[in-house]
């Protein structure tokens, strides 16, 4: 069961994530510092926190140009905020705590759905380095969607593996490590206080 103090603290943290068009730049930069990597480095892979200095405002809010694509940092933040809020509402309604494993998976999906191509057209789900597999996978709905949906990637799909949930999203020699971004969101929201 969630304590009223834990709920209030989480809601206060989520308010600091901002709204579309007003996500704080320092937050966007901290998330990139925590999750950006080089894969073309002689000691590859290696962390690349200075990529945070390249965050710019684009049509989707704060974004990071990466290898001909854009990682939509602001969209990832807003989507994560929505997913956390939904999980909190469900936990309050069921008088329980938030399921940490399920929430981490949904946050990973938010991140993989926050990539656009060179024309700023958003990908449904950016595979970017995840292991190809057979068939289809179930993707949990994210902010603004209702019910589960099925996404087929490159005709074969992607197995729900460590690559999908925690691995790197590659953009040429640069990458965002999904699990690192999720951990940074987790820390910013202090989710350990409300999850089991």
DSSP string, 64-132: EEETTEEE-HHHHHHHHHHHHHHHHHHHHHHTS-B-HHHHHHHHHHHHHT-EE-TT-PBPSS--TTPPB
Number of CB atoms found within 10 A of residue 191's CB: 22
Q: Which residues of the chain have pLDDT under 50?
A: 131-144, 146-164
Give the tens place of pLDDT for each residue, 39-51. 766 777 889 999 9
Number of CB atoms found within 10 A of residue 148's CB: 9
Q: What distance in Å separates the CA atoms of residue 76 and residue 82, rounded to the nearest whole number?
A: 10
Percentages of the chain per state (helix, strand, coil), in multiples of 5 = 40, 20, 40
Mean pLDDT taken over the chain: 83
Give the tens place of pLDDT for each residue, 179-192. 999 999 999 999 99
Q: What distance in Å separates the CA atoms of residue 33 and residue 176, rounded to the nearest whole number?
A: 10
Residue 128's pLDDT is 77
Residue 90's pLDDT is 93
Q: Return the ∠ at Cα 25 (arms to 76 and 194), rounded to 5°.
A: 50
């Amino acid at each position: 069961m969630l304590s009223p103090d834990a709920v209030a603290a989480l809601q206060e943290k989520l308010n600091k994530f901002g709204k579309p068009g007003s996500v704080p730049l320092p937050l966007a930069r901290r998330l990139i510092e925590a999750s950006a990597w080089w894969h073309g480095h002689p000691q590859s892979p290696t962390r690349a926190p200075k990529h945070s200095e390249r965050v710019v405002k684009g049509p989707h809010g704060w974004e990071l140009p990466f290898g001909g694509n854009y990682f939509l940092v602001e969209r990832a933040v807003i989507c994560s905020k929505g997913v956390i809020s939904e999980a909190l509402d469900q936990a309050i309604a069921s008088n329980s705590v938030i399921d940490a494993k399920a929430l981490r998976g949904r946050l990973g999906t938010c991140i993989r759905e926050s990539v656009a191509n060179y024309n700023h057209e958003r990908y449904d789900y950016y595979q970017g380095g995840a292991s190809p597999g057979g068939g289809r996978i179930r993707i949990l709905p994210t902010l603004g969607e209702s019910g589960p949906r099925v996404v087929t990637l490159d005709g074969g799909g992607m197995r729900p593996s460590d690559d999908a949930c925690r691995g790197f999203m590659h953009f040429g020699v640069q990458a965002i490590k999904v699990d690192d971004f999720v951990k940074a969101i987790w820390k910013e929201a202090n989710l350990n206080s409300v999850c089991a």
